[in-house]
Amino acid sequence: MKQFGKLLSFLGIAILTLSISILLILLVGSSVNQAFFSFISGIFGSFYSVSEVMVKATPLILTGLGVAVGSRSGFINIGAEGQLYMGAIAVTCIAFWLNDLPAIVMIPLVILGGFVFGGVWSVIPGFLKARFGISEVITTLMFNYIALSIVGILVRTWLKDPATSLPMSAFLPDGATLPALISTTRLHAGLLVALISVVLVWLLVWKTPTGYEMRAVGLNPRASKCSGISVYKNIILSSLISGGLAGIAGVCEVSGLHHKLLEGISPGYGYIAIIVALLGKNHPVGVVISALGIAALQVGSLGMQRMAGVPTSISSIIMGVVVLLILARKSLFRRLLTDE
């Protein structure tokens, strides 16, 4: 009965979301049938469209995974966006500094560099939280603006491509670019990096004593401390891994997709990652599913805009509605979930 009530509550959320979507489409004066047809066609209409879902899901998986790891130990990471940009800086600097290295050496090196840059950017707020009790929500958020500003300075000064007047770096050396998985699409090996990261995080958090300690600290820091588990160590470790994963997302975006550093390299992946982790219940498998779902929503909304004239901003509204409904699920469907 409990599981049936949960199923009905999620069905209710789906119906409410669909109803609100229809209302929004009608408000902008578009045909509901054409909008939904173009939405589905935008996702599944061609092999390229399906591959675009994977392309957009790749950074969402990595950043969402990072947010989820932090949340498991009580580190609320709002700074995945800035950590992604720090990873993007890392791959660009390493690629130009060690441009003669072969790809077999360069690729692992830039991934490691992105992890370190993103991790360090996250460890600072983690240290402030663990040592002084300063809210990581504020510090990680402020670090986003600092990271974006650093990128803006670099692409106008030291890393700027002298061959163009635009604020961007030159193209990375071939050895620093991730190979394409399918030549006729933009899908690159960053997807494999993301999926490997999912497996590694699952093994770490759920199958090791370290992961047990991290989860214990997240559930009850005081009880963990009384049991001899170091709250300080686990917050520092989780913040390092959290930021490092977001940094790898930055590496994949530069090395796999754009092949150069530029402003606006992320359309808010680090912020959407919070939704990804929330919908995925901070579990690696859940993160993958929610990242694919949100990526499909974004790609489908582009199809609606092209074929039905529906603004893509509606997809952002729908994401917000889904999150609010899930957060309010127990209140909205109290009678169905009385035994939960």
Would you give per-residue pLDDT tens digits along the chain (340 residues)?
Answer: 556 667 777 788 888 888 888 898 888 888 888 888 888 988 988 899 999 999 999 999 999 999 999 999 999 999 999 999 999 999 999 999 998 899 999 999 999 999 999 999 999 999 999 999 999 999 999 999 999 999 999 999 999 999 888 999 999 999 999 999 998 899 999 999 999 999 999 999 999 999 999 999 999 999 999 999 999 999 999 999 999 999 999 999 999 999 999 988 999 999 999 999 998 999 999 999 999 999 998 898 888 888 877 887 888 888 888 888 887 777 776 665 555 4
Secondary structure (3-state) at 262: strand
DSSP label of 179? P
Which residues does 27 contact at the CB level (< 8 Å), separation at least 6?
none
How many residues are there in the chain?
340
Dihedral pair phi/psi, residue 68, rounded to 5°: -65, -45
SS3 (DSSP) at 157: coil
Report the chain's terminal Cα–Cα distance, integer Å. 10
Cα(154)–Cα(176) distance, integer angstroms: 19
Helix, strand, or coil (residue 75): coil
| Beta-bridge mates of residue 188 | 180
Cβ contacts of residue 293 below 8 Å, gap of 6+? 279
- Whole-angstrom distance, CA of residue 257 vs CA of residue 262: 12
- Beta-sheet strands, E only, within the chain: none
Which pLDDT score is estimated for 48? 92
What does the alpha-carbon distance between residue 260 and residue 88 come to, in Å, rounded to a whole number?
9
Say if residues 287 and 70 touch (Cβ distance below 8 Å): no
> Considering only CA atoms, which of 188, 168, 167 is closest in space to residue 177?
188
Residue 278 to residues 71, 143, 165, 198, 230, Cα–Cα distance (Å): 9, 21, 41, 16, 26
Nearest Cα residue to 155 out of 265, 271, 80, 270: 265
pLDDT (0 to 100) of residue 318: 84
Phi and psi torsions of 330, nearest 5°? -70, -25
Q: How far apart are CA 25 and CA 33, in angstroms?
A: 10
| Residues 56/189, Cβ–Cβ less than 8 Å | no
Closest CA to 173 of 94, 248, 85: 94
Residue 340 has a pLDDT of 45
